[in-house]
Amino acid sequence: MANVLDLRRRIRSVRNTRQITKAMKMVSAAKLRRAQEKAVAARPYAAMLASVLESLKRRAEIYDPETGECRSPLLLTRPEKRILLVVVSGDKGFAGAFNTNIIKAATNFIQENGQKEIDVEAIGRKGRDFYRRRYGAARYSGDGTRGGRGANIEVTGEHTGVLEKLSYERVREVAMKIVHRYEHEEIDAAYLVYNEFKSVIQQRVVVERVLPILQLGARQIAEAREPTTEERERAAEAALSAGVSLFPQEAAAAQQQLENETKNFGTAEVDYIYEQPAAEIFADVLPRYITSQLYHATLESVAAEHAARMTAMDSATNNASDMIDSLTLTMNRVRQAAITKEIIEIVSGAAAI
Amino acid sequence: MATTLKVRLVTPERILLDMDAEAVEIPGKTGYLEVLYGHAPLLTEIGAGMVRLHGAEGGEESYMIARGFAEVLPERVTILAEEAEKPEEIDVLKAQEQLQRGEELWNRAGDDPAKYTEANEVVAEANAKIEGAGKK
Protein backbone atom coordinates (compact mmCIF):
# COMPACT_ATOMS: atom_id res chain seq x y z
CA MET A 1 0.00 0.00 0.00
CA ALA A 2 1.15 3.48 -0.82
CA ASN A 3 2.42 5.58 2.03
CA VAL A 4 0.98 8.81 3.27
CA LEU A 5 3.59 11.01 1.66
CA ASP A 6 2.98 9.59 -1.82
CA LEU A 7 -0.74 10.06 -1.48
CA ARG A 8 -0.28 13.59 -0.28
CA ARG A 9 1.81 14.34 -3.33
CA ARG A 10 -0.78 12.91 -5.66
CA ILE A 11 -3.52 14.93 -4.08
CA ARG A 12 -1.49 18.05 -4.54
CA SER A 13 -0.94 17.23 -8.21
CA VAL A 14 -4.62 16.55 -8.87
CA ARG A 15 -5.49 19.76 -7.09
CA ASN A 16 -3.19 21.66 -9.44
CA THR A 17 -4.85 20.03 -12.42
CA ARG A 18 -8.23 20.99 -11.09
CA GLN A 19 -7.09 24.56 -10.76
CA ILE A 20 -6.07 24.59 -14.40
CA THR A 21 -9.23 23.00 -15.75
CA LYS A 22 -11.29 25.37 -13.66
CA ALA A 23 -9.44 28.35 -15.09
CA MET A 24 -9.86 27.00 -18.61
CA LYS A 25 -13.55 26.60 -18.02
CA MET A 26 -13.93 30.19 -16.89
CA VAL A 27 -11.88 31.44 -19.83
CA SER A 28 -14.02 29.44 -22.23
CA ALA A 29 -17.16 30.80 -20.63
CA ALA A 30 -15.93 34.35 -21.15
CA LYS A 31 -14.94 33.62 -24.73
CA LEU A 32 -18.26 31.97 -25.34
CA ARG A 33 -20.05 35.07 -24.18
CA ARG A 34 -18.00 37.19 -26.54
CA ALA A 35 -18.56 34.80 -29.43
CA GLN A 36 -22.28 34.86 -28.78
CA GLU A 37 -22.34 38.63 -28.84
CA LYS A 38 -20.44 38.61 -32.09
CA ALA A 39 -22.87 36.17 -33.61
CA VAL A 40 -25.81 38.32 -32.56
CA ALA A 41 -24.15 41.45 -33.94
CA ALA A 42 -23.65 39.76 -37.28
CA ARG A 43 -27.28 38.82 -37.67
CA PRO A 44 -28.75 42.09 -39.00
CA TYR A 45 -26.41 42.13 -41.96
CA ALA A 46 -27.20 38.56 -42.90
CA ALA A 47 -30.93 39.12 -42.51
CA MET A 48 -30.90 42.29 -44.60
CA LEU A 49 -28.82 40.64 -47.29
CA ALA A 50 -31.24 37.76 -47.50
CA SER A 51 -34.25 40.03 -47.74
CA VAL A 52 -32.68 42.18 -50.43
CA LEU A 53 -32.07 39.05 -52.45
CA GLU A 54 -35.62 38.01 -51.84
CA SER A 55 -36.98 41.27 -53.21
CA LEU A 56 -34.54 41.34 -56.09
CA LYS A 57 -35.45 37.85 -57.11
CA ARG A 58 -38.98 38.93 -57.83
CA ARG A 59 -37.87 41.83 -59.96
CA ALA A 60 -34.80 40.56 -61.70
CA GLU A 61 -35.34 37.97 -64.35
CA ILE A 62 -33.01 35.25 -63.28
CA TYR A 63 -33.41 33.50 -66.57
CA ASP A 64 -32.95 35.47 -69.73
CA PRO A 65 -36.36 35.46 -71.40
CA GLU A 66 -34.92 35.16 -74.90
CA THR A 67 -32.13 32.67 -74.61
CA GLY A 68 -33.31 30.96 -71.42
CA GLU A 69 -29.84 31.36 -70.08
CA CYS A 70 -29.25 31.77 -66.40
CA ARG A 71 -27.92 35.15 -65.35
CA SER A 72 -25.74 34.03 -62.53
CA PRO A 73 -23.40 31.05 -62.69
CA LEU A 74 -24.02 30.46 -59.02
CA LEU A 75 -27.57 29.33 -59.67
CA LEU A 76 -26.67 26.75 -62.27
CA THR A 77 -26.82 23.12 -61.28
CA ARG A 78 -24.56 20.55 -62.82
CA PRO A 79 -24.27 16.85 -62.12
CA GLU A 80 -22.14 16.56 -59.00
CA LYS A 81 -18.87 15.10 -60.15
CA ARG A 82 -16.54 17.06 -57.97
CA ILE A 83 -17.61 18.32 -54.61
CA LEU A 84 -15.98 20.86 -52.40
CA LEU A 85 -16.33 20.13 -48.73
CA VAL A 86 -15.56 22.91 -46.29
CA VAL A 87 -14.86 21.50 -42.85
CA VAL A 88 -15.07 24.03 -40.05
CA SER A 89 -13.38 22.55 -37.00
CA GLY A 90 -11.57 24.04 -34.04
CA ASP A 91 -7.99 25.23 -33.83
CA LYS A 92 -7.38 23.65 -30.46
CA GLY A 93 -8.26 20.50 -28.62
CA PHE A 94 -9.48 20.10 -25.04
CA ALA A 95 -13.02 20.58 -26.23
CA GLY A 96 -14.54 17.20 -25.55
CA ALA A 97 -16.06 15.55 -28.59
CA PHE A 98 -16.32 18.78 -30.56
CA ASN A 99 -13.65 18.11 -33.17
CA THR A 100 -14.37 14.39 -33.26
CA ASN A 101 -18.01 15.03 -34.09
CA ILE A 102 -17.18 17.41 -36.91
CA ILE A 103 -14.64 15.07 -38.41
CA LYS A 104 -16.99 12.13 -38.03
CA ALA A 105 -19.76 13.94 -39.89
CA ALA A 106 -17.35 15.02 -42.63
CA THR A 107 -15.91 11.54 -42.99
CA ASN A 108 -19.37 10.04 -43.21
CA PHE A 109 -20.19 12.47 -45.95
CA ILE A 110 -17.03 11.59 -47.82
CA GLN A 111 -17.77 7.91 -47.57
CA GLU A 112 -21.30 8.35 -48.85
CA ASN A 113 -19.94 10.18 -51.86
CA GLY A 114 -16.99 7.88 -52.28
CA GLN A 115 -17.26 7.54 -56.03
CA LYS A 116 -17.07 11.29 -56.64
CA GLU A 117 -14.07 13.52 -56.48
CA ILE A 118 -13.95 15.48 -53.29
CA ASP A 119 -11.87 18.51 -52.49
CA VAL A 120 -11.52 19.20 -48.81
CA GLU A 121 -11.08 22.75 -47.63
CA ALA A 122 -10.22 22.83 -43.96
CA ILE A 123 -10.89 25.79 -41.71
CA GLY A 124 -9.36 25.18 -38.30
CA ARG A 125 -6.21 23.32 -37.40
CA LYS A 126 -7.75 20.11 -36.06
CA GLY A 127 -9.63 19.28 -39.21
CA ARG A 128 -6.66 20.19 -41.35
CA ASP A 129 -4.30 17.92 -39.44
CA PHE A 130 -6.67 15.02 -39.75
CA TYR A 131 -7.36 15.31 -43.46
CA ARG A 132 -3.80 16.16 -44.37
CA ARG A 133 -2.62 12.97 -42.72
CA ARG A 134 -5.32 10.97 -44.30
CA TYR A 135 -5.57 12.22 -47.86
CA GLY A 136 -2.63 14.45 -48.57
CA ALA A 137 -2.60 17.93 -50.04
CA ALA A 138 -3.39 18.72 -53.64
CA ARG A 139 -0.37 19.38 -55.75
CA TYR A 140 -0.16 22.70 -57.43
CA SER A 141 2.27 23.25 -60.24
CA GLY A 142 4.40 26.37 -60.21
CA ASP A 143 2.05 28.61 -62.16
CA GLY A 144 -0.74 28.23 -59.68
CA THR A 145 -2.82 25.74 -61.62
CA ARG A 146 -3.70 22.32 -60.43
CA GLY A 147 -1.48 19.51 -61.61
CA GLY A 148 -2.82 16.05 -62.24
CA ARG A 149 -5.12 14.64 -59.65
CA GLY A 150 -3.33 12.34 -57.30
CA ALA A 151 -6.32 10.82 -55.63
CA ASN A 152 -10.07 11.09 -55.55
CA ILE A 153 -9.96 12.97 -52.31
CA GLU A 154 -7.58 15.81 -51.76
CA VAL A 155 -7.08 18.71 -49.42
CA THR A 156 -7.09 21.81 -51.59
CA GLY A 157 -6.88 24.48 -49.00
CA GLU A 158 -6.29 25.06 -45.38
CA HIS A 159 -7.03 28.06 -43.27
CA THR A 160 -5.69 27.90 -39.80
CA GLY A 161 -5.76 30.78 -37.37
CA VAL A 162 -8.85 32.22 -39.06
CA LEU A 163 -11.01 31.27 -36.13
CA GLU A 164 -8.94 32.74 -33.35
CA LYS A 165 -9.53 36.31 -34.37
CA LEU A 166 -12.41 35.90 -36.71
CA SER A 167 -12.62 38.71 -39.21
CA TYR A 168 -14.95 39.09 -42.13
CA GLU A 169 -12.03 39.84 -44.43
CA ARG A 170 -10.39 36.48 -43.93
CA VAL A 171 -13.62 34.60 -44.41
CA ARG A 172 -14.31 36.61 -47.53
CA GLU A 173 -11.07 35.44 -49.08
CA VAL A 174 -12.06 31.83 -48.53
CA ALA A 175 -15.56 32.38 -49.85
CA MET A 176 -14.36 34.25 -52.93
CA LYS A 177 -12.08 31.38 -53.77
CA ILE A 178 -14.97 28.96 -53.55
CA VAL A 179 -17.20 31.17 -55.68
CA HIS A 180 -14.42 31.58 -58.22
CA ARG A 181 -13.88 27.85 -58.48
CA TYR A 182 -17.58 27.25 -58.90
CA GLU A 183 -17.88 29.85 -61.60
CA HIS A 184 -15.03 28.25 -63.51
CA GLU A 185 -16.67 24.86 -63.16
CA GLU A 186 -13.80 23.46 -61.18
CA ILE A 187 -16.29 22.22 -58.66
CA ASP A 188 -19.93 21.24 -59.12
CA ALA A 189 -21.17 21.73 -55.58
CA ALA A 190 -19.99 23.07 -52.27
CA TYR A 191 -20.94 21.70 -48.91
CA LEU A 192 -20.24 23.02 -45.45
CA VAL A 193 -19.75 20.91 -42.34
CA TYR A 194 -19.93 22.87 -39.13
CA ASN A 195 -21.32 22.95 -35.65
CA GLU A 196 -24.47 24.99 -35.48
CA PHE A 197 -25.00 26.92 -32.29
CA LYS A 198 -28.36 28.16 -31.10
CA SER A 199 -27.68 28.10 -27.39
CA VAL A 200 -25.46 26.18 -25.01
CA ILE A 201 -27.83 23.25 -24.97
CA GLN A 202 -29.07 23.55 -28.53
CA GLN A 203 -26.40 22.76 -31.01
CA ARG A 204 -25.86 20.24 -33.71
CA VAL A 205 -23.43 19.24 -36.39
CA VAL A 206 -24.84 20.02 -39.81
CA VAL A 207 -23.84 19.34 -43.38
CA GLU A 208 -25.20 22.18 -45.45
CA ARG A 209 -25.08 22.82 -49.15
CA VAL A 210 -24.12 26.36 -50.11
CA LEU A 211 -23.61 25.95 -53.83
CA PRO A 212 -25.43 25.76 -56.13
CA ILE A 213 -28.11 27.99 -54.66
CA LEU A 214 -31.35 26.19 -55.36
CA GLN A 215 -33.65 28.26 -53.28
CA LEU A 216 -32.85 31.60 -51.80
CA GLY A 217 -33.33 32.09 -48.12
CA ALA A 218 -33.94 28.42 -47.48
CA ARG A 219 -31.05 26.53 -45.97
CA GLN A 220 -30.19 23.27 -47.59
CA ILE A 221 -29.29 20.96 -44.80
CA ALA A 222 -28.21 17.56 -46.00
CA GLU A 223 -27.55 15.99 -42.64
CA ALA A 224 -27.71 16.89 -39.00
CA ARG A 225 -26.70 15.26 -35.79
CA GLU A 226 -28.44 16.32 -32.61
CA PRO A 227 -26.75 16.00 -29.24
CA THR A 228 -28.10 13.37 -26.86
CA THR A 229 -30.11 14.33 -23.80
CA GLU A 230 -27.20 13.47 -21.53
CA GLU A 231 -24.86 15.74 -23.42
CA ARG A 232 -27.41 18.47 -23.17
CA GLU A 233 -27.82 18.07 -19.43
CA ARG A 234 -24.07 18.09 -19.01
CA ALA A 235 -23.78 21.31 -21.01
CA ALA A 236 -26.59 22.96 -19.07
CA GLU A 237 -24.89 22.09 -15.79
CA ALA A 238 -21.58 23.49 -16.96
CA ALA A 239 -23.18 26.69 -18.18
CA LEU A 240 -24.96 27.17 -14.91
CA SER A 241 -21.80 26.85 -12.84
CA ALA A 242 -19.90 29.17 -15.14
CA GLY A 243 -22.59 31.82 -15.00
CA VAL A 244 -23.53 31.70 -18.67
CA SER A 245 -27.24 32.13 -19.23
CA LEU A 246 -28.83 29.44 -21.32
CA PHE A 247 -31.35 31.65 -22.98
CA PRO A 248 -30.12 35.21 -23.29
CA GLN A 249 -33.53 36.81 -22.91
CA GLU A 250 -32.87 40.52 -23.03
CA ALA A 251 -30.84 39.93 -26.16
CA ALA A 252 -33.68 37.91 -27.63
CA ALA A 253 -36.19 40.72 -27.14
CA ALA A 254 -33.96 43.29 -28.81
CA GLN A 255 -33.31 40.77 -31.52
CA GLN A 256 -36.99 40.28 -32.19
CA GLN A 257 -37.57 43.95 -32.70
CA LEU A 258 -34.61 44.24 -35.01
CA GLU A 259 -35.66 41.25 -37.01
CA ASN A 260 -39.09 42.72 -37.56
CA GLU A 261 -37.46 45.81 -38.95
CA THR A 262 -34.93 44.02 -41.08
CA LYS A 263 -37.64 41.89 -42.56
CA ASN A 264 -39.01 44.98 -44.16
CA PHE A 265 -35.65 45.89 -45.56
CA GLY A 266 -35.72 45.70 -49.31
CA THR A 267 -38.91 43.70 -49.44
CA ALA A 268 -41.30 46.53 -48.81
CA GLU A 269 -43.95 46.62 -51.45
CA VAL A 270 -42.46 49.62 -53.10
CA ASP A 271 -41.29 50.19 -56.59
CA TYR A 272 -37.65 50.89 -56.21
CA ILE A 273 -35.63 52.93 -58.57
CA TYR A 274 -32.76 50.68 -59.40
CA GLU A 275 -29.57 52.57 -60.04
CA GLN A 276 -28.16 49.56 -61.77
CA PRO A 277 -30.21 46.97 -63.62
CA ALA A 278 -31.79 44.67 -61.06
CA ALA A 279 -30.16 41.63 -62.60
CA GLU A 280 -26.76 43.21 -62.24
CA ILE A 281 -27.25 43.97 -58.58
CA PHE A 282 -28.56 40.48 -58.14
CA ALA A 283 -25.44 38.94 -59.63
CA ASP A 284 -23.27 41.12 -57.43
CA VAL A 285 -25.11 40.29 -54.26
CA LEU A 286 -25.01 36.51 -54.68
CA PRO A 287 -21.32 36.03 -53.85
CA ARG A 288 -21.84 38.23 -50.81
CA TYR A 289 -24.63 35.95 -49.76
CA ILE A 290 -22.26 32.98 -49.91
CA THR A 291 -19.68 34.88 -47.89
CA SER A 292 -22.24 35.80 -45.32
CA GLN A 293 -23.28 32.16 -45.02
CA LEU A 294 -19.72 31.06 -44.50
CA TYR A 295 -19.11 33.83 -41.99
CA HIS A 296 -22.21 32.80 -40.14
CA ALA A 297 -21.01 29.18 -40.06
CA THR A 298 -17.61 30.10 -38.68
CA LEU A 299 -19.13 32.36 -36.04
CA GLU A 300 -21.43 29.63 -34.86
CA SER A 301 -18.66 27.10 -34.91
CA VAL A 302 -16.46 29.29 -32.74
CA ALA A 303 -19.24 29.75 -30.22
CA ALA A 304 -19.94 26.03 -30.23
CA GLU A 305 -16.27 25.25 -29.72
CA HIS A 306 -16.08 27.42 -26.64
CA ALA A 307 -19.28 25.92 -25.32
CA ALA A 308 -17.90 22.41 -25.86
CA ARG A 309 -14.64 23.32 -24.14
CA MET A 310 -16.50 24.82 -21.24
CA THR A 311 -18.54 21.64 -20.81
CA ALA A 312 -15.49 19.41 -21.13
CA MET A 313 -13.52 21.43 -18.63
CA ASP A 314 -16.42 21.44 -16.21
CA SER A 315 -16.49 17.64 -16.36
CA ALA A 316 -12.75 17.53 -15.85
CA THR A 317 -13.02 19.78 -12.81
CA ASN A 318 -15.73 17.58 -11.32
CA ASN A 319 -13.70 14.46 -11.97
CA ALA A 320 -10.69 16.01 -10.32
CA SER A 321 -12.78 16.89 -7.26
CA ASP A 322 -14.05 13.31 -7.05
CA MET A 323 -10.53 12.01 -7.32
CA ILE A 324 -9.28 14.32 -4.58
CA ASP A 325 -12.08 13.12 -2.31
CA SER A 326 -11.31 9.47 -2.85
CA LEU A 327 -7.56 10.02 -2.51
CA THR A 328 -8.05 11.93 0.72
CA LEU A 329 -10.14 9.09 2.05
CA THR A 330 -7.46 6.54 1.20
CA MET A 331 -4.79 8.76 2.66
CA ASN A 332 -6.62 9.07 5.97
CA ARG A 333 -7.16 5.36 6.09
CA VAL A 334 -3.50 4.63 5.46
CA ARG A 335 -2.47 7.14 8.06
CA GLN A 336 -4.81 5.66 10.65
CA ALA A 337 -3.62 2.14 9.84
CA ALA A 338 -0.05 3.25 10.38
CA ILE A 339 -0.91 4.83 13.74
CA THR A 340 -2.84 1.77 14.87
CA LYS A 341 0.05 -0.45 13.87
CA GLU A 342 2.47 1.63 15.85
CA ILE A 343 0.28 1.59 18.94
CA ILE A 344 -0.07 -2.19 18.73
CA GLU A 345 3.70 -2.45 18.47
CA ILE A 346 4.21 -0.29 21.55
CA VAL A 347 1.49 -2.06 23.54
CA SER A 348 2.71 -5.53 22.65
CA GLY A 349 6.29 -4.40 23.36
CA ALA A 350 5.22 -3.17 26.79
CA ALA A 351 3.30 -6.38 27.48
CA ALA A 352 6.37 -8.43 26.67
CA ILE A 353 8.41 -6.76 29.38
CA MET B 1 -39.00 66.20 -36.24
CA ALA B 2 -40.65 64.67 -39.11
CA THR B 3 -38.09 65.81 -41.57
CA THR B 4 -35.13 63.76 -40.47
CA LEU B 5 -33.91 60.57 -42.00
CA LYS B 6 -33.08 57.48 -40.01
CA VAL B 7 -29.69 56.38 -41.21
CA ARG B 8 -28.25 53.00 -40.53
CA LEU B 9 -24.85 51.71 -41.56
CA VAL B 10 -24.55 47.94 -41.24
CA THR B 11 -21.40 45.90 -41.67
CA PRO B 12 -21.15 42.12 -41.50
CA GLU B 13 -19.69 42.43 -38.03
CA ARG B 14 -22.09 44.87 -36.43
CA ILE B 15 -24.40 47.84 -36.81
CA LEU B 16 -21.94 50.67 -37.00
CA LEU B 17 -24.24 53.60 -37.07
CA ASP B 18 -27.87 54.16 -36.22
CA MET B 19 -28.87 57.78 -36.00
CA ASP B 20 -30.96 60.62 -37.38
CA ALA B 21 -29.67 63.06 -39.95
CA GLU B 22 -31.01 65.69 -42.30
CA ALA B 23 -29.15 64.51 -45.35
CA VAL B 24 -26.84 61.69 -46.39
CA GLU B 25 -24.30 61.53 -49.13
CA ILE B 26 -23.91 58.04 -50.53
CA PRO B 27 -21.10 56.95 -52.85
CA GLY B 28 -23.13 55.11 -55.47
CA LYS B 29 -21.35 52.92 -57.93
CA THR B 30 -22.06 55.37 -60.70
CA GLY B 31 -21.44 58.48 -58.64
CA TYR B 32 -22.30 60.21 -55.39
CA LEU B 33 -25.89 60.91 -54.54
CA GLU B 34 -27.38 62.95 -51.77
CA VAL B 35 -30.52 61.83 -50.08
CA LEU B 36 -32.94 64.06 -48.20
CA TYR B 37 -36.14 63.26 -46.38
CA GLY B 38 -38.84 62.04 -48.71
CA HIS B 39 -36.58 60.62 -51.38
CA ALA B 40 -38.16 58.11 -53.72
CA PRO B 41 -37.43 54.47 -52.88
CA LEU B 42 -34.13 53.50 -54.43
CA LEU B 43 -31.69 50.66 -54.37
CA THR B 44 -28.12 51.13 -55.47
CA GLU B 45 -24.80 49.42 -55.32
CA ILE B 46 -22.09 51.44 -53.68
CA GLY B 47 -18.60 52.06 -54.86
CA ALA B 48 -15.66 52.88 -52.65
CA GLY B 49 -16.05 56.31 -51.12
CA MET B 50 -17.22 58.43 -48.24
CA VAL B 51 -20.62 58.40 -46.65
CA ARG B 52 -21.39 61.76 -45.12
CA LEU B 53 -24.17 62.58 -42.72
CA HIS B 54 -25.27 66.18 -42.56
CA GLY B 55 -27.21 67.71 -39.72
CA ALA B 56 -26.78 64.74 -37.43
CA GLU B 57 -27.04 65.16 -33.67
CA GLY B 58 -23.33 64.99 -33.06
CA GLY B 59 -22.49 67.24 -35.99
CA GLU B 60 -21.16 65.82 -39.22
CA GLU B 61 -20.36 62.15 -39.40
CA SER B 62 -18.43 60.44 -42.13
CA TYR B 63 -17.31 56.95 -42.93
CA MET B 64 -15.21 55.37 -45.64
CA ILE B 65 -17.19 52.50 -47.10
CA ALA B 66 -16.67 49.98 -49.87
CA ARG B 67 -18.44 47.03 -51.43
CA GLY B 68 -22.09 46.89 -50.64
CA PHE B 69 -25.39 48.51 -51.42
CA ALA B 70 -27.82 51.00 -50.04
CA GLU B 71 -31.56 51.08 -49.74
CA VAL B 72 -33.30 54.42 -49.67
CA LEU B 73 -36.84 54.81 -48.42
CA PRO B 74 -38.62 58.13 -47.89
CA GLU B 75 -37.86 58.18 -44.17
CA ARG B 76 -35.06 55.68 -43.85
CA VAL B 77 -31.67 54.94 -45.38
CA THR B 78 -29.92 51.66 -44.82
CA ILE B 79 -26.43 51.06 -46.08
CA LEU B 80 -24.90 47.63 -46.15
CA ALA B 81 -21.15 47.67 -46.63
CA GLU B 82 -18.55 44.99 -46.29
CA GLU B 83 -16.03 47.54 -45.27
CA ALA B 84 -16.51 50.67 -43.23
CA GLU B 85 -13.99 52.79 -41.40
CA LYS B 86 -13.91 56.14 -39.73
CA PRO B 87 -11.66 58.54 -41.64
CA GLU B 88 -9.34 59.05 -38.69
CA GLU B 89 -8.94 55.29 -38.32
CA ILE B 90 -7.76 54.66 -41.84
CA ASP B 91 -4.29 53.23 -42.01
CA VAL B 92 -2.70 55.15 -44.86
CA LEU B 93 0.30 52.85 -45.11
CA LYS B 94 -1.95 49.85 -45.42
CA ALA B 95 -4.01 51.64 -48.05
CA GLN B 96 -0.89 52.41 -50.03
CA GLU B 97 0.11 48.77 -49.87
CA GLN B 98 -3.32 47.90 -51.14
CA LEU B 99 -2.93 50.39 -53.96
CA GLN B 100 0.32 48.76 -54.97
CA ARG B 101 -1.22 45.34 -54.82
CA GLY B 102 -4.07 46.55 -57.00
CA GLU B 103 -1.68 47.97 -59.56
CA GLU B 104 0.23 44.74 -59.60
CA LEU B 105 -3.00 42.85 -60.18
CA TRP B 106 -3.76 45.18 -63.02
CA ASN B 107 -0.38 44.58 -64.62
CA ARG B 108 -0.68 40.86 -64.32
CA ALA B 109 -4.29 40.64 -65.42
CA GLY B 110 -3.45 39.64 -68.98
CA ASP B 111 -6.50 39.05 -71.15
CA ASP B 112 -8.97 38.21 -68.44
CA PRO B 113 -11.57 40.98 -68.16
CA ALA B 114 -12.75 39.69 -64.79
CA LYS B 115 -9.29 40.21 -63.39
CA TYR B 116 -9.21 43.78 -64.64
CA THR B 117 -12.48 44.48 -62.92
CA GLU B 118 -11.13 43.02 -59.72
CA ALA B 119 -7.92 45.03 -59.96
CA ASN B 120 -9.89 48.19 -60.64
CA GLU B 121 -11.99 47.61 -57.57
CA VAL B 122 -8.94 47.15 -55.37
CA VAL B 123 -7.35 50.31 -56.76
CA ALA B 124 -10.52 52.35 -56.35
CA GLU B 125 -10.88 51.20 -52.78
CA ALA B 126 -7.30 52.05 -51.94
CA ASN B 127 -7.60 55.47 -53.56
CA ALA B 128 -10.77 56.24 -51.69
CA LYS B 129 -9.04 55.28 -48.45
CA ILE B 130 -6.03 57.44 -49.10
CA GLU B 131 -8.18 60.37 -50.09
CA GLY B 132 -10.53 60.00 -47.17
CA ALA B 133 -7.85 59.52 -44.54
CA GLY B 134 -7.74 62.24 -41.94
CA LYS B 135 -10.47 64.28 -43.61
CA LYS B 136 -13.64 64.95 -41.80
Is B16's pLDDT higher than 60?
yes
Residues of B in contact with A143 (CB under 8 A): none
More confident residue, A213 or A62: A213
Q: Which of B26, B21, B24, B25 is nearest to B4 (CA)?
A: B21
Other beta carbons less than 10 A from residue A39's beta carbon: 18
The domain limits of chain A are 18-316
ipTM score for this prediction: 0.79
Topology of domain A18-316 in CATH is Pyruvate Kinase; Chain: A, domain 1 (3.40.1380)
What is the C-alpha radius of gyration for chain B, rounded to an integer number of angstroms?
16
Exposure of B94 by Cβ count < 10 A (0-12 exposed, 13-18 middle, 19+ buried)?
exposed
- For residues B27 and B85, give the distance between their C-alpha atoms in angstroms, rounded to a whole number: 14
Q: Do A281 and B69 touch (CB under 8 A)?
A: yes
Q: Do B73 and A45 touch (CB under 8 A)?
A: no
Whether residue B80 contacts residue A45, with contact meaning beta carbons closer than 8 Å, is answered with: yes
Averaged confidence pLDDT in chain A: 80
- For residues A127 and A133, give the distance between their C-alpha atoms in angstroms, rounded to a whole number: 10
Q: Any residues with CB less than 8 A from the CB of A311 and at least 6 apart, and which?
A: A96, A231, A234, A235, A238, A239
- For residues A138 and A142, give the distance between their C-alpha atoms in angstroms, rounded to a whole number: 13
pLDDT in tens, A14-34: 999 999 999 999 999 999 988
Q: Which of A13, A9, A14 is nearest to A322 (CA)?
A: A14
pLDDT band at B95 (very low <50, low <70, confident <90, very high): confident
pLDDT in tens, A291-319: 888 898 898 899 889 988 998 999 999 99
Chain A residue with minimum CA distance to B80: A45
Query: To which H or E segment does residue A351 belong?
Result: helix A278-352
Is A263's pLDDT higher than 70?
no
Q: Do A45 and B71 touch (CB under 8 A)?
A: no
Which is it for strands B42-46 and A117-123: parallel, antiparallel or unpaired? unpaired
CATH 2.60.15.10 for the B5-85 domain, yes or no? yes
pLDDT in tens, A171-193: 888 888 888 888 888 888 888 89
Whether residue B69 contacts residue B27, with contact meaning beta carbons closer than 8 Å, is answered with: no
Whether residue A169 contacts residue A162, with contact meaning beta carbons closer than 8 Å, is answered with: no
B118 touching A, CB under 8 A? no
Chain A residue with minimum CA distance to B10: A45
Chain B residue with minimum CA distance to A176: B118
How many alpha carbons lie under 13 Å from residue B83 in its C-beta half-sphere? Answer: 20
A179 touching B, CB under 8 A? no
- For residues A145 and A270, give the distance between their C-alpha atoms in angstroms, rounded to a whole number: 47
pLDDT band at A142 (very low <50, low <70, confident <90, very high): very low
Helices marked H in A139-272: 168-183, 229-242, 249-264
